[in-house]
Structure 1
Amino acid sequence: MRRAPVPAALVCGTLLLLSACARSTGAERPPGVPTGVTAEAGSATSVHVMWNRVTGDPPVTAYWVYRGRAKVAEVPGDRHMVDVPRLRPGTSYVFTVRARDADGRLGPASRSVRASTPAAVAADASPPSRPGTLRGKPVGSRAAQLSWGAARDDREVVSYDVYQGDTKIHSVGGQQTATVVTGLRPGTRYRFTVRARDAADNLSPASAAVRLTTAPGADQGAATAPAGFRASTHRADGAYHIDLSWVPPRTDGVVTEYEVHLDGRPATSLVFGGNPPRDRASYSFYVGREPGVEHRVRLRARLPDGTWGALSEERTVTTGADG
């Protein structure tokens, strides 16, 4: 089969999604927009807000979190989550996040996300039970997969808090009993526990701890790679396009950015705005007008901690072979 060089039209283009090509790192530019922002009630009086870390030069040193127009929290640049307390029960709130760099520049606000606190629970002083057996396993060198048994409460478990040592690093909804923690260091031993929280902000005792050691080296782990990766081609208006689809990796946040590798090298990146897909995602891009050209294609995700995940399986396609 004949092989063609990566067409210039592929390196900079927008089709189904926003495709980001050149990324300026000029010192005059403010930080970028935080992506992957989510907000979920942690109790009747608190909301847990998360976002993806913003990379830049100069580096981001802080994140400002807003409830409506009011700034309610300032978070150090090495974190990407915060609990917003002292809220009203049974109330809907809107949150945004902005990044601030080392030179004091404040970037644009993220998209708005909404969360509603549950109704108040009168005279509830009973915490949930201790979560069931916590299990964990390293996923390569930079991630860990955790799962636990559901806690019980006389009313309702609203959320689960995940701790690394004595530090809370993540929170999930009360119906979720598993997560993937990213941003870990290779060859490092970690200790995790989980606590349940009810609407009255009562915290359960910590689960039994699980200890694990990440793999050495630079491997980022198969679980951080897009799953179910498929590739095919189609012809439209006299030109050929490669069509991709995949299932986003499970992480402790939202994946909004991907990098496409064509014939062994990065070719283009894409960023989902609005509500990034949680199930199957798709993307299509131009590769030229000549039939019978073979291409190898892979994909990887930028994880919420700002690092790149593992590459997907490689697929080989030939222009014209799929019609």
Structure 2
Amino acid sequence: MKRNRALARGLSLALAIPLAGLTGASTARAATDYQAEDAAITQGTVATNHTGYTGTGFVDYTNVKGSYVEFTVSAASAGPAALTLRYANGTATDRPMDISVGGTVVSPALSFPATTDWNTWADKAVNVTLKAGSNKIRATATTANGGPNLDRIRIDAPTDTQAPTRPGQPSCSDIGENGLTLSWGASTDDTGVTAYDIYEHGNKIGEAPGSSTSKALTGLTPNTTYNLTVIARDAAGNTSPASPVVDCTTRPSSDTTPPTRPGTLSATDVTANSAALSWGASTDDRAVVAYDVRSGTTVYKSVTSGTSTTLTGLACDSPYALNVVARDAAGNVSEPSNTVNFTTKACATDGGVPSSISTLSSGWTIPWGTYWMPDGQTALVTERDDFRVWKVTKDGTRTQVGTVPNAVTTNGEGGLLGVAVDPKWASNHYVYFMHTASEGNRVVRMTYDGTKLSDYKILLQGIKKNRYHNGGRLAFGPDGYLYASTGEAQTPDLAQDKDSLNGKILRMTTDGKPAPGNPFGNYVYSYGHRNPQGLAFDRNGRLWEAEFGNSSKDELNLIKPGADYGWPICEGSCSTSGMTNPKATWNVSEASPSGIAIVRNVVYMASLRGERLWRIPINGDNESVGTPTAYYVGTYGRLRTVTKVPGSDQLWLSTTNADNNGNEPDGSDKIFRVNIS
């Protein structure tokens, strides 16, 4: 199988995505609340001396004619809208107001009669017409009594839900050492393209206005291949499918002189998990930009300032042979320093550590999901791009049991992804898959009789897809409900929309309905996720999750119902109110995590770009973790899925070196057995 290989916010009550499929309609209705205390107020005050209001207060109009509150309202497209004003009038006197839009009165002297008392709130509705973009809506008192107390307004306006078309084939020109010009075919949209986002292997590296079809990319590395796609975006935040891919290679640098060899490297203060390193400075005809601490040619850490560092995350009771090389901006690398040898100190016994690794099974092509049958004797394993499902025994023997119909690839990270087996499989024979389909990502159910798959049934669809950021992990919780991780489909704003299925952890019944007790009354269990792929429950029934960062920090999170994990407002830890910080973070070069598993109260996290298995101990039964340490750094390539073996302190660990980032041929992936002791 041939593959492409290469390197201000309103309180939105946004439209729910259809769960049975896409409607194809270009507009729908969405309600947005605007609090009066946040609007422009003339001759009135923000008050809190009554009850029943929403937000942080309400506006008490001054008792004069002409006092007003003016709201700035945004509409994705022009058209009629329903305007509802929430008010209280504790007098027996009507307090009429003129309602104007853009300076034009659309409802003169609209009546606001008594509401019994000042703690009783009522709604007054009026139809208005909005223009696309910003609108000024003003409620002005028309008598000397002033207006009523005004809590908020609600706009039920047309919302654009039609995505732009896919941009045309990109191409590169003006290619230099550190930059190039990327051009693409224009996208079209019913309301107009406002921007184009440029991605390199799923990470956004730039954007251009919707009126442009080219962008000069700067700050690139010489003699490097960039795998580029373009996504169109409209004013409502709808995004197109990713454009076709173009691979562009920057020119070799005119600077061919490498830095000098670094001075003597030494190691001190060696602990079980760290060592302090220092070395002599290198020189360069232009400038040294970084020192790479390496084992052989595997980079453990890059140091951009100074000639010393403390190397953390080392495996305990393990030998290390490290050197340092200097790099300049052109990518020229010095000769390595001397090699320093040391052995980290003994391991702590609590939780255990990886003690041995061996090949369980070979000949795989992008094995993505692994899930054990309830009897603990065999596991089901999916292959992402071939849509095949295999039964694998504990000795590594594998037998194909079928394929999942209607699955398609995205030429990126979509395809046949997670698998989960019903805890009651012995009585119902149900297994569950998440896969990419023509219209988006789906959660489906099939019947598995122990030999073959049949009876494909869609449980949930309408999960937006894109080339990258499709999530895909499935897991059953101790509560018997099915949990699914979904990416934001390269549309970051979806992660914050609680009515969207994207950028979430979803929780559902085995019939595909929202699980009882979900925090928002829909499928959403947690939100604010970018591309979550690791799910595992600890001994206390708590859900842990790992997800890809963009360019800064990857995350390990402890998931709580209804919590917001920050994306795209935060990447890694931040101080923004309402955001839940991760329990551990990594530089994206050290992790890019996919699957996780828990053995003896320790989280094991498989890393793709980082090419290592991270060990993260949970601190007893607390909500914190200890120092992460890394195993097998650079030894086995891109590590995708890690799964606990039932009934033993053992893991299965799979690679995806045959994917579009690994550049290895089909059949080169493996599943390893890791013993914990």
- TM-score range normalised by the length of the shorter chain: 0.3 to 0.5
TM-score after normalising by structure 1: 0.38
Higher relative contact order (CA 8 A, sep 6+): 1
TM-score after normalising by structure 2: 0.20
Structure with higher Rg: it is: 2
